[in-house]
């Protein structure tokens, strides 16, 4: 709107260009889910390195695949992940009551808390204030892990012990016992450990292993996908964005089918493991039918499991699910080449693998590839590589347009980027000026991808189109508050079969 002209002179008006930037979203934020002996059980925790995982979840544990998969995700190129810890109903959080006035409880269940103690000391100059330390106990040695000075038992005080520990402690919470208003007496030495006295000992509870002799564990599956959408995998609904879902060792077809739908609803991609005891014979007719339904376009299956050195077993090889390794390789490929590059080939090595659970030759690989099973191969010179890039809908007989992993992930990337990048359109006047802005904004985004080599075609006209006009949005649509945008792109498809034709020339006679 022009400025009011109130005096003779020169007026300057800045005219907006109409171009709004669409930012490309991340493509390889992973979510890894499994049982662990410690860590938060009420949220998806962001970890930016394996050291983060160690601090929050305790590191490697021979009873679970989760720690190994997180470690290998980062070792193979991953840089951001959310971790969801599953715990059984019989897992218990340790607690201890100090002087009958202050109850200290571990922030999450597990036997880990039994190695921690609490010390309390009142201030000499103010008997309404006290300091509290969280101590790690090893033998007779007590090491201060956290220190909270100047606490109060008064809930209205800014230094109320319950609020401070709830917000600032990584280990414990506090609650007032009865109507106590004065601090507990100073604790002696040794300091009271969590679980001591009449307190509750922390317990890990039943180990939820997704894999047993029948490739299913009902307790794990119900914790992973509960009947009410308030825990398990549904914690991911509270994170801003994730792209890759990994449940290491989960091979039960009905559960994987549910995870496929979960991913489709959230524009994410499932990296699934073949069963631990699968062989060429069990897979030669393709995956279980439950894995190849309409939602399988957002999932890929990898065979076989891999052997890797186990640091907690003197680096002796241990057979592990490959999904964590593969997710890291996805992230590395995205960073180096782009999401449109197939996460397979001689450049997509799996780092940290010593051998394969099943070695395949080229002919055996060919049998499985045509059935949409992505193989992990050990090739001379190149080492352990991913040698397949098909979705679970990639069986040739389906004839699916989402046959290849990079094509499907590229579409998900564009969808998510546009979904977030054009929210400004909502409630704008629905007419040609808006449509023109939409075409310009999305066109600029698609042109950037074209210049980066994300599409087929030598010209933009061959590579993509953006349509938003009176043909896509009719008067009825306008009356209903709808604007329709059609975006098309020519995807790059991997050169899965490379044909070399040789012709022998007859000797030429010099004339």
- In this structure, what are the phi and psi dihedrals at residue 303, rounded to the nearest 5 degrees? -130, 135
CATH topology for 30-87+209-406 is Rossmann fold (3.40.50)
Burial of 278 (C-beta count, 10 Å sphere; 0-12/13-18/19+): buried
* The domain over range 95-176 is classified in CATH as 2.60.40.4290: yes
Find residue 82's DSSP bridge partners.
31, 46
Reading the block at residue 303, the tokens are 């065979």
Q: Which of 331, 312, 315 has its CA nearest to residue 323?
A: 331
Segment 128-147, tens digit of pLDDT:
999 999 999 999 999 999 99
Whether the predicted pLDDT of 1 surpasses 70? no
- Write the DSSP assignment of 56-67 as a string of letters: HH-S--TT-SHH
CA 38 distance to own-chain centroid:
19
CA distances from residue 107 to 100, 102, 224, 232, 235 in whole angstroms, order as listed: 20, 15, 21, 18, 18
CA 367 distance to own-chain centroid:
31
Q: What is the SS3 assignment for 250?
A: coil
Look at residue 508 in the predicted model and tell me its pLDDT. Answer: 58
CA distances from residue 209 to 178, 260, 402 in whole angstroms, order as listed: 40, 20, 32
Delimit the domains of the chain by residue range: 30-87+209-406, 95-176, 427-511
Segment 436-455, tens digit of pLDDT:
999 999 999 999 999 999 99
End-to-end CA distance of the chain: 84
Are the C-beta atoms of residues 90 and 365 closer than 8 Å to each other? Answer: no
Strand ranges (E), 44-169: 45-47, 81-86, 95-98, 102-106, 116-123, 126-138, 141-152
**How is residue 88 annotated by DSSP?**
-
- Write the DSSP assignment of 274-313 as a string of letters: PPTT--HHHHTT-S-GGGSSGGGGGEEEEE--EEEEEGGG
Give me the mean pLDDT over the 484-497 stretch: 90
Segment 340-360, tens digit of pLDDT:
999 999 999 999 999 999 999
CA pair distance 415, 140, nearest whole angstrom: 58
Look at residue 215 in the predicted model and tell me its pLDDT. Answer: 60
Look at residue 171 in the predicted model and tell me its pLDDT. Answer: 96
Distant-in-sequence, close-in-space partners of 156: CB < 8 Å, separation ≥ 6: none
Are the C-beta atoms of residues 31 and 47 closer than 8 Å to each other? Answer: no
CA pair distance 242, 170, nearest whole angstrom: 25
Q: Mean pLDDT in the chain?
A: 94
Look at residue 225 in the predicted model and tell me its pLDDT. Answer: 93
Segment 307-316, tens digit of pLDDT:
999 999 999 9
Pairing type for strands 383-387 and 374-379 reads antiparallel
């Amino acid at each position: 709107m022009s400025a009011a002209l109130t005096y003779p002179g020169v007026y300057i008006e800045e005219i907006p260009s109409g171009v709004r930037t669409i930012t490309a979203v991340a493509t390889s934020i992973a979510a890894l889910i499994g049982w662990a002996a410690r860590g938060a059980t009420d949220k998806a925790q962001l970890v930016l390195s394996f050291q983060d995982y160690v601090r929050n979840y305790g590191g490697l544990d021979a009873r679970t695949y989760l720690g190994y998969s997180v470690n290998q995700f980062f070792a193979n190129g991953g840089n951001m992940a959310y971790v969801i810890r599953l715990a059984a109903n019989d897992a218990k959080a340790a607690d201890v009551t100090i002087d009958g006035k202050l109850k200290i409880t571990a922030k999450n269940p597990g036997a880990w808390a039994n190695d921690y103690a609490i010390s309390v000391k009142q201030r000499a100059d103010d008997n309404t204030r006290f300091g509290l330390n969280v101590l790690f106990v090893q033998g007779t040695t007590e090491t201060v892990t956290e220190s909270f000075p100047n606490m109060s038992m008064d809930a209205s005080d800014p230094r109320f012990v319950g609020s401070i520990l709830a917000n600032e402690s990584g280990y414990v919470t506090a609650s007032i016992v009865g109507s106590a208003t004065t601090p507990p007496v100073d604790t002696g030495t040794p300091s009271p450990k969590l679980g001591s006295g009449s307190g509750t000992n922390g317990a890990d509870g039943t180990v939820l292993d997704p894999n047993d002799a029948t490739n299913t564990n009902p307790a794990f599956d119900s914790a992973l996908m509960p009947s009410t959408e308030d825990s398990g995998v549904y914690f991911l609904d509270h994170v801003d964005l994730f792209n890759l879902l990994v449940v290491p060792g989960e091979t039960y077809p009905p559960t994987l089918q549910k995870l496929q739908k979960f991913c489709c609803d959230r524009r994410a991609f499932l990296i699934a493991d073949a069963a631990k005891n699968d062989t060429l014979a069990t897979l030669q007719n393709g995956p279980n039918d439950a894995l190849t339904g309409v939602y399988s376009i957002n999932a890929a299956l990898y065979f076989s499991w891999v052997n890797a050195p186990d640091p907690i077993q003197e680096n002796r090889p241990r057979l592990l699910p490959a999904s964590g390794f593969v997710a890291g390789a996805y992230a590395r490929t995205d960073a180096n080449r782009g999401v449109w590059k197939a996460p397979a080939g001689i450049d997509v090595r799996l780092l940290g693998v010593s051998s394969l659970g099943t070695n395949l030759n080229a002919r055996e690989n060919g049998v499985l590839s045509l059935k949409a099973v992505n193989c992990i191969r050990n090739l001379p010179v190149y080492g352990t590589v991913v040698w397949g890039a098909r979705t679970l809908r990639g069986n040739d007989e389906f004839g699916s347009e989402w046959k290849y992993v990079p094509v499907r992930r590229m579409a998900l990337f564009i969808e998510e980027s546009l979904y977030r990048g054009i929210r400004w359109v909502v409630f704008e006047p629905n007419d040609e000026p808006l449509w023109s802005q939409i075409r310009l904004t999305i066109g600029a985004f698609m042109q950037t991808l074209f210049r980066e080599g994300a599409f087929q075609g030598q010209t933009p006209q061959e590579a993509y189109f953006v349509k938003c006009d009176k043909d896509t949005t009719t008067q009825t649509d306008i009356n209903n508050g709808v604007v329709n945008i059609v975006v098309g792109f020519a995807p790059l498809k991997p050169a899965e079969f490379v044909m070399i034709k040789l012709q022998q020339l007859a000797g030429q006679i010099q004339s």
